[in-house]
């Protein structure tokens, strides 16, 4: 009788531990993240903090992201015209926001190098991004990764991909 009770208590304790541990582990775990987007690029006023001389471009578009589905993409890219990262290369940076259909958002800061290609109307950007937060299920999100963007200066459009990791502690709230 005592032996059976001990086994029952041990089984209950094990079940409680198995139920509790995955929830705690996944709340802060990092998952793969990928977003693809197509934007329209429009000249915009530069913020006072922008280096002089700079060119500022507002980004607005749509795409798809893991953990979000269809997204709206918005942001501001500040191109430092005085930077010199090589022939035909300029540095750029700026904040971006990815908004899911339900309004939940991921915010990130990106930095990169924007380089000329053999086609004078096409520029290629490579860089990195850091997730700075979000709203809804992405509240207090963190993460990082790489960015790759092709910019068509003739049509004022760009297409790009973000690839990295994402941690979303807000998804457990």
| 87-131 per-position pLDDT tens digit | 999 999 999 999 999 999 999 999 999 999 999 999 999 999 999
Instruction: For residue 29, count other CB atoms closer than 10 A to its CB.
Output: 13
pLDDT band at 17 (very low <50, low <70, confident <90, very high): very low
CA distance 169 to 173: 8
So where are the chain's domains? 29-172
pTM confidence score: 0.81
> Could you tell me the fold of the domain covering 29-172?
AOC barrel-like (2.40.480)
8 Å CB contact between 68 and 97: no
User: How much is the pLDDT for 14?
Assistant: 38
pLDDT at 170 over 70: no
Percent of the chain with pLDDT over 90: 79
């Amino acid at each position: 009788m005592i032996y059976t009770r001990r086994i029952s208590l041990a089984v209950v304790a094990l079940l409680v531990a198995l139920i509790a541990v995955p929830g705690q582990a996944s709340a802060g775990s990092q998952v793969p993240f990928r977003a693809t987007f197509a934007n329209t690029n429009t000249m915009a006023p530069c913020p006072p903090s922008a280096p002089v001389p700079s060119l500022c471009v507002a980004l607005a578009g749509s795409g798809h992201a893991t953990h979000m589905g269809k997204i709206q993409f918005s942001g501001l890219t500040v191109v430092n015209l005085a930077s010199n990262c090589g022939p035909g290369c300029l540095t750029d940076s700026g904040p971006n926001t990815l908004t899911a259909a339900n309004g939940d958002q991921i915010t990130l800061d990106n930095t990169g190098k924007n380089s000329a290609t053999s086609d004078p109307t096409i520029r290629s950007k490579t860089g990195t991004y850091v997730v700075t937060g979000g709203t809804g299920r992405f509240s207090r999100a963190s993460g990082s990764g790489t960015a790759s963007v092709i910019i068509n200066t003739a049509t004022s459009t760009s297409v790009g991909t973000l690839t990295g990791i994402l941690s979303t502690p807000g998804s457990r709230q």
